[in-house]
Amino acid sequence: MNRDDEHTSDRDTFLTWVKTALYEAELALHNGNPAPRRALWSRNEPVSVLGAWRNATGQQELDKLFTALGKSFSDCTSYAFEVQAYDVVGDMAYTAGFEHTSTSVDGQPRTYTLRATQVYRREDGEWRVAHRHGDTATE
């Protein structure tokens, strides 16, 4: 297998992970369960979130953020991640796209779209999220 084939295979494997494990974790979060999302995040520093609603840097702040989001979200009726761009380079990867969500936030139904960019590290052969930036899209 040549280098281009390896890169294509790595990209395909990564995108499958994004569309399965990562998707399921985000869906769970929007139904009030932050545990699957937290499980996919790196336990190594640095980790950070520049979020649409709150920011976090480091493991303790990340735990507090995900717990708070889990308490805020419930009754997700729709979640879709529209990937615009992604790549894998060695043990690093990124995604950029739009998250289209219909869920309840603090008991109030809301529908919104976020622009989301995430950075990933491969740790012990598994993809882990290391950074997230999300903001409200004004398409």
Other CB atoms within 10 Å distance of the CB of residue 57: 15
Strand order in the sheet with 48-50: 55-57, 48-50, 126-136, 108-123, 92-105, 73-89
Q: Which of 20, 39, 14 is nearest to 120 (CA)?
A: 14
Evaluate whether 29 touches 37 at the Cβ level (below 8 Å): yes
What is the average pLDDT score of the chain?
95
For residue range 45-60, list pLDDT tens digits in order. 999 999 988 999 999 9
The two tokens of residue 56 are 């976090």
Q: Which of 69, 59, 62 is nearest to 33 (CA)?
A: 69
Whole-number pLDDT of residue 139 = 59
Residues 120 and 126: their CA atoms lie apart, in Å, by 10
pLDDT band at 24 (very low <50, low <70, confident <90, very high): very high
For residue range 113-125, list pLDDT tens digits in order. 999 999 999 999 9
Instruction: Give strand pairing partners of 25.
Output: none
Residues 16 and 10: their CA atoms lie apart, in Å, by 10
For residue range 82-97, list pLDDT tens digits in order. 999 999 999 999 999 9
pTM: 0.93
